[in-house]
Amino acid sequence: MPDDLDGDLLDRFVQGDQAAFEGLFRQFETEVFRWILRIVRDRSAAEDVLVEAFWRAYRGRARFDPSRSFGAWMRRIATNAAIDHVKATRSQAGWRTADDTLRAPAGPDRAVAEAISVVFHSLPVRLRVVATLALIEDQPLAEIAEAMHLPIGTVKSRVFRAVRILRKELARLGIHP
């Protein structure tokens, strides 16, 4: 995320200046949106979560230290908001993507893809989010750790556990990746 920000802009944001907040929003919205979309995997939901995340940031502005990276702070807030969304929609049938641009394969591989998708979506949220970012979105573990405010060892361990569960469940269905 770009973070060569004017210190005065950040100070004004902390003091509640709405123009400064809009300036930060305009500068970071696309990056934050992409990050959220990687987690919630639904364009419309990602837009709602983006609004919620920036609103949380504005509400919690007094806790922001202007000498630190706004981008990293914003990404942590966005990650929490996205995880809250995934948890809230967990019981609903479709955590699957509603994004028309993301299509599962057709043909004989479709059944395997469906099975993998179902097993993947049955992972516990904290494992699934890490696995989504690491295995599907190919994000560096260090970035995931920073965004989730976790030690990198915990992120590695969650990826490992997610992979182990996936292998076990897929093997039960006769799929051996």
Partner 1 sequence: MIEHDRLARLLRDAVPPSTAQAPSRDLWPAVTSRGHSPVSWTWFDLGMAAAVVIVLSAFPDWLWLLAYHL
**Residues lying near partner 1 in the complex (CB under 8 A):** 18, 22, 25-26, 29-30, 33-34, 37-38, 41, 43, 46-47, 50-52, 54-55, 58, 96-97, 99, 101-105, 109, 112-114, 116-117, 120, 131-132, 135-138, 163, 166-167, 177
Q: How far is CA 97 from the centre of its chain?
A: 14
The Cα 75–Cα 72 span in angstroms is 5
Pick the closer one to partner 1 by CB: 31 or 146: 31
The least CB distance from residue 48 to partner 1, in Å, is 8
Nearer to partner 1, 67 or 138 (CB): 138
Report the residue number, 12 or 41, with the smaller CB distance to partner 1.
Answer: 41
Distances (CA, A) of 165 to 111, 114, 128: 19, 17, 11
Task: State which residue, 53 or 67, has the beta carbon closest to partner 1.
Answer: 53
Shortest Cβ 105–partner 1 spacing (Å) = 6
Note the Cα 50 to chain centre separation in Å: 11
CB of 25 to partner 1, least distance (A): 6
Contacts 24+ apart (CB under 8 A), 60-68: 61/13, 61/14, 61/16, 61/21, 62/14, 64/10, 64/13, 64/14, 66/7, 66/10, 66/11, 66/13, 66/14, 67/7
| Cα 35 → chain centroid | 5
Q: Would you say 19 or 63 has its CB closer to partner 1?
A: 19
Q: Could you tell me the smallest distance in angstroms from the CB atom of residue 20 to partner 1?
A: 13
